[in-house]
Amino acid sequence: MRVTQVSVFLENRPGRLLYLLNILAEANVNLVAHNIVDASDFGIVHMLVDNPQRAVEAVRGAGLTCSTITVLAVEVPNEPGAFVERVLKPLAGAGINIEYSYAYSGHNDARIVLKVDDLDGGERSLAAGTA
């Protein structure tokens, strides 16, 4: 449920994302999911990767600024209502706020990444919800 998310600061201009992803590719890091939050002049790229440690070393080695935080990753069935019933209702019920979220779906299931304001509480609510 808990995963390490790697966040990287990039200027909002052409070529920066390419630069970052190139670094990861050369370090043999595989990107699992990503979400870019933009703020006019700059953006933050949130990423789930297969090897956070190697990713961080590579990114820092290339002179970029990054940080890691713990986020929640929940697996839910890939069907209508799953997000609502398995994730949103339990969290809202426990008064937990979602700071941001992104997701990807496969054939049968979907994986939802969440940054919440209460990690322990969030984990508990979601475990109860998916039970």
Q: Which of 27, 54, 61, 66 binds another protein (CB under 8 A)?
A: 66
Reference 11, options 51, 58, 45, 57; nearest CA is 45
Q: Cβ-count burial of 90 within 10 angstroms (0-12 exposed, 13-18 middle, 19+ buried)? A: buried
Q: Is 33 in the site for another protein (CB under 8 A)?
A: no
Provide the terminal-to-terminal Cα distance of the chain, rounded to the nearest Å: 13
Q: Is 92 in the site for another protein (CB under 8 A)?
A: no
Write the CB contacts of 84 (distance below 8 Å, at least 6 apart in sequence): none
Nearer to another protein, 43 or 90 (CB): 43
Segment near another protein (CB under 8 A); pick from 6-14, 26-34, 78-86, 118-126:
6-14
| Contacting residues toward another protein, per CB under 8 A | 5, 7, 9-11, 16, 37, 39, 41-42, 44, 46, 63-67, 69, 99, 115
